[in-house]
Amino acid sequence: MQQALKHNQGTLIVWLLLLTAPFWLPYIGGYTALGSRVVILALAAMSVNFLLGFTGVLSFGHAAYFGIGVYGVGLTLKYLEPSTVAGIAIGVGAGALAAAVIGVLIVRLRGIYFAMVTIAFGQVFYFIAYRWNSVTGGDDGLSGWHRLPIDLGFTTLDIQSNDKALYYLVLACFGVSVAIMAFLLRSPFGRTLIAIRENERRARFLGIPVDQHIWLSWVISCTFVSLAGALYALINNFADPHDLRWDQSGDFVIMAVLGGMRSFWGPLLGAALFVVLQDYLSSHTENWQSFIGAFFVLVVMFFPRGILGILRRRTTP
């Protein structure tokens, strides 16, 4: 009972901080766009954690679906339909479809083999974006488009010039996504995923269709990371082929591990630390990645449960 109360209090604090972020960020040297980046990359890290932390399957190819979301928005707004909602829908749909098809091909692999194949497929998408200059802009990226206001019928959401409106759009998408993830993880499906993570052989012995559950977990995870990519495109008004590279997937894994890999809110904390450190250090030195790498190594060596694990241990009597 006491543990559930602490969990609810922690969740309430998280949402209070997120809902009020545009108002308190300037007082600590931040800005609204930085808050949007934190929320978007937190969604990407939580998506990776859905597969890694709760299913026990490591992927280094999630950047491919993140990048598909990015390019889905950019290509839609530039070539197909000047609609932000249509761009998000196409970006997420394309990412989910690609994940569903590729998942069928790789779902029987495990361990390092699964991770390496996800990198290989991810690099295929990266080189398509990198080489298809006439459509994607190649190495220069896809520019010449921008996010547009969203007509809600009774009002217009001006995300084009209002950073706070864009932040709350991002936060709304984040809220719906994490609510769905939380519901799934508390359902019998989520309990089955955890059983597979803990002992796949025993799960098979009990008659659980392990491959189908891993495929579903993979598709769900990639769908949410595609949504994160679509939102990321909106804050940048630009699609960069780097968004599809394998090292971007590595950043998502680092965020999840930094915050606490098997905890629900850990990746949010990890993403906040990563993005804020990146923003601060990159403005002071070109070698900012070395500092983040050293910090990551220290956390993994001395605090394997992540930053959230440290906080929980300190608050537990």
DSSP 78: I
- Would you list the domain boundaries of the chain? 2-315
Out of 3.30.70, 1.10.3470, 2.40.50, 3.40.50, the CATH code matching 2-315 is 1.10.3470
296 SS3 class: helix
- pLDDT value, residue 284: 77
Q: Which DSSP state fits 156? A: E
Question: Which token pair is 131?
Answer: 């080489």
- First-to-last C-alpha distance (Å) of the chain: 15
**Of 122, 124, 123, 111, which Cα lies nearest the Cα of 58?**
111
Residue 6 pLDDT: 57
Give per-10-residue mean pLDDT for the chain (317 aa).
60 90 88 94 95 91 94 93 93 96 92 91 91 87 89 84 92 96 94 92 90 95 96 92 88 89 88 89 79 81 74 55
Which secondary-structure segment (H or E) carries 77?
none
d(CA 175, CA 35): 14
**CB 174 within 8 Å of CB 271:** no
Q: What residues contact residue 19 under an 8 Å CB cut-off, 6+ apart? A: 171
| CB within 8 Å of 210: residues ≥ 6 apart | 196, 200, 203, 204
